[in-house]
Amino acid sequence: ADFCERVEGRKVNRKVLESLIKSGAFDSIHPNRAQAMVAVDGALELGAKSQRDRESGQLSIFGAMGDGAASMVADFVMPETPEWKEAERLRFEKETLGFYITGHPLSKFAGAIGAVSNVTTRRLREKAQDSVVKLAAVIAAQRDRTSKKGDKMATLTLEDQEGTVEAVVFPKAYEKVRHVLGEDVPVLVEGKVELGEETARLIVDGMVPLADAIESTAATVVLRVDGDRLDATKFAGLSAVLSAHQGPAPVFLRLVLGGRPAAEIDLGAERRVSPTPAFTDAVEEILGHASVELRKH
């Protein structure tokens, strides 16, 4: 509201204000972007009224004392609104800026990607021609087109945290993966490497949502537990999370004491879990960032 009151409305309209919010420009003064977005109408209205009053010379008794605008801003109430989820926040950053600022869609899968993929965009050129690889990535851009025979196909830009690579989805593969395609979707792509003189691209053969690939993989879940900070409340919370996400993957606790690994404990057959993103989020709420790792059998 204070921003709208200070800046001329003809220069900062709704579209500009919403773009500033989505990109995080106001995070230092109001980090809840969803709440700021909901408040746009009221803030613009307050700013317009304040500017009209100044231009017309109409001052309230408070304005005559120099604090009319400040009083209106102080009285402005932000509506109660839950913050955007990470995926939505990142999508808006990419939409307005062309890149991510506060994170990456693959970050939440960091501890599990190694269990399902065998290459990154940066290392793709190190693979031999026609090598079959699995790449965890986000579909950063998609261009659909039609083959000479009239069949649908697509060219994709796949992005991970190391870079980007072009991928081609020919008609036969397109029919298999079309239900997965969509920008900003984390996926596991299987395909063959095609090497050029300076670049490499991927010829797509299959694709599944990354979360599904991780959940179905035969891997062991390793939870990093800082024994110096573990208390009864955290232990009870962790036990509840394990019970709520039962599945096929065995779980080990890697106990760290004084910053060094002290022991690794098998929780047994009754404490197996399904390593979904929801499980990872719930554990990291208790044990901290990067506390979940998937290890291949």
Give the tens place of pLDDT for each residue, 7-66. 665 667 888 888 998 989 989 888 899 998 988 888 788 777 776 766 666 555 445 444
Q: Are strands 163-169 and 152-160 parallel, antiparallel or unpaired?
A: antiparallel
Q: Where are the alpha helices (DSSP H) in 98-221?
A: 113-116, 171-177, 210-216
Average confidence score pLDDT of the chain: 86
Residue ranges in the chain assigned as alpha helix (H): 2-6, 14-23, 33-38, 40-56, 61-64, 68-75, 86-97, 113-116, 171-177, 210-216, 232-244, 277-287
| Rounded Cα distance, 288 and 225, in Å | 9
Helix pair angle (14-23, 86-97), 10° resolution? 120
Reported as type and span, the H/E element at residue 153 is strand 152-160
Distance CA 133, CA 192 (A): 6
Average pLDDT of the residues in 201-227: 91
Confidence label for 2 from pLDDT (cuts 50, 70 and 90) = low
pLDDT tops 80 at residue 71: no
The amino acid at 267: L
Could you identify the residue written with the tokens 């830009």? 157
Q: Which of 294, 122, 157 is nearest to 214 (CA)?
A: 294
Structure tokens belonging to residue 100: 């991510």
pTM: 0.67
Q: Output the six-digit token pair for 275.
A: 């390593």
User: Average pLDDT for residues 243-261, to the nearest whole number?
Assistant: 91
Percent pLDDT > 70 in the chain is 87
CA distance 23 to 288: 26
Which structural domains are found in the chain, ordered by start? 2-97 (no CATH), 107-210 (2.40.50.140), 218-296 (no CATH)
What's the pLDDT score for residue 13? 81
